[in-house]
Amino acid sequence: MAKNELSGYELSRNWFDWCFENPDLISPTHTAMYFFIIEHCNRLGWKEKFGLPMEMTKDAIGIKNYRTYSNTLNDLINWGFIKLIQKSKNQYSSCIVAIVLGAKASTKALDKALQKHSQKQCKSIVCIDKQELLTIEPINKEQEESSKPFNFKSELLKLGVSEQVASDWMKVRKAKKAANTETALRGLIKEIGLSKLTANECVTISVERSWQGFKAEWIKKDEKQKENESQYKPIKFD
C-alpha cells in the first residue's frame, strides 16, 4: 500500500515537472485526463494494464466531443506518460492502457522556481509584520479619558463645588457607604437645577444634613416654613 501511495505522489510530481518545462504544449484538459487515469488505476488496485472507457472518462473530466478526447489521450501517449496496449475496437469498447512510471522531466526547474518563490514569500511576510507594527494607531484623548475610572470628586469640582465642600461630601457618602456612580452624579445635577441654587450651595446643604445625596424639595420646605413663620408673628402686649 505504501509503495502505491508513493507511486501516486511520484506520478504527480513528475507530471508537473514536465508541465513546467513545456507550458506551450499542455492544457488543463491534459492534467484532468492524466489524473483521472491515475485515479481509475488506483481504484482498480494499481493494475499494470487496464481498460479506459471513453464515455466514463469524458463525463469525469467534462469533455463533450470525441475529437478532444482522442487528441488529449494521444498527447499523453506521445509524451510518454501513458502506454497504449490495445486500441478500442468501437465506441462501445474500452482501449487498454498502462501508466508509464518512468516518465519525468529532464531538469528540476520547477523545484528551483518553487524554492525561490518560498523565499520571496517569507520575506514578504516579514515585511507585512513590520508594516502592521508601524500602522498601529495611538489611543486618542477621548479613548484615554473613557478608560479612566470615574472620579466623583473631580466631577463635583467641574460643577463649581469648592475643594473643601467636595471633600466633606465625599466623607459623608463614604460614611453612608454610598456608591460613587455616574447615576448619582446625574441625579445630583438634576436636583440642583430644580432648586435654583448653585452646586456649591446644594452640596453644602447636603453635608449639613449628613446626607449622601441632595433633594430640591428640602429648599422648598425651608422656604415654605419661613413664609409661614413670617405670616403668623406673635402679638406683643404692652
pLDDT digits (tens, 9 = 90+) for 161-187: 888 888 887 888 888 777 666 677 777
- Picking from 81, 99, 117, the residue at the C-terminal end of a domain is 99
> What is the total count of domains within the chain?
2
10 and 94 housed in the same domain? yes
Is residue 116 packed enough to be buried (19+ CB in 10 Å), middle (13-18) or exposed (0-12)? exposed
- Picking from 78, 99, 120, the residue at the C-terminal end of a domain is 99
Tell me the CATH number at 84.
1.10.10
Average pLDDT over residues 139-158: 65
- Picking from 66, 99, 132, the residue at the C-terminal end of a domain is 99
Is residue 187 packed enough to be buried (19+ CB in 10 Å), middle (13-18) or exposed (0-12)? middle
Q: Tell me the H-state helices in the chain.
A: 2-21, 28-43, 54-61, 66-78, 109-134, 141-147, 152-159, 163-175, 182-195, 199-208, 216-231
8 and 84 housed in the same domain? yes
pLDDT digits (tens, 9 = 90+) for 81-134: 999 999 988 777 899 999 998 776 666 655 555 555 555 555 555 545 544 444
Domain holding 222, by residue range, is 150-226
